[in-house]
Amino acid sequence: MNFTYPKNERLKSKTTIGLLFSEGKSVSKYPLRLVYCPVGENSEEKTKIGVSVSKKYFKKAVDRNYFKRVLRETYRLNKHLLLDNLDQPYSFMFFYQTKDRLSFEEINTKTIQLFEKFILQIKKTQESENNTEL
């Protein structure tokens, strides 16, 4: 199992981020939200992910940075759930959307649930696309 989060998996492209917010779909599991969008097949990485914590909920940068670190860590530990079930590359934006200060364990559990919900949604859309082709 490769539990890394290398630089080439980080979402930095302004065009891709813009695409996520204009055409991306969303999955939520309180207090987390995952916005995703498939990217071209020519991408060398299967996933690219960015994290965000709103200034609306945490005024101090120290607090925002702490929750961003926690989100990146939970992604790093659970990204195998995504990689094992994706057949094309995706870009993700991962949000923490509450004032509640959840513990690492709670956030990790919610992340696993969110990734499983995302996988189910992807499989449903693929099945519906396959059914319309027939």
Q: Which domains does the chain have, with CATH numbers?
A: 14-127 (3.30.230.10)
The region, left, alpha or beta by phi > 0 then psi within -120 to 50, assigned to residue 86 is beta
Q: Evaluate if residue 43 carries a pLDDT over 70.
A: no
Percent of the chain with pLDDT over 90: 73
CA gap 115, 85 in Å, rounded = 10
The region, left, alpha or beta by phi > 0 then psi within -120 to 50, assigned to residue 101 is beta
Residue whose structure tokens are 């995952």: 34
Quick: pLDDT tens for 19-34.
999 999 999 999 999 9
CA gap 96, 98 in Å, rounded = 6
Percent of the chain with pLDDT over 70: 96
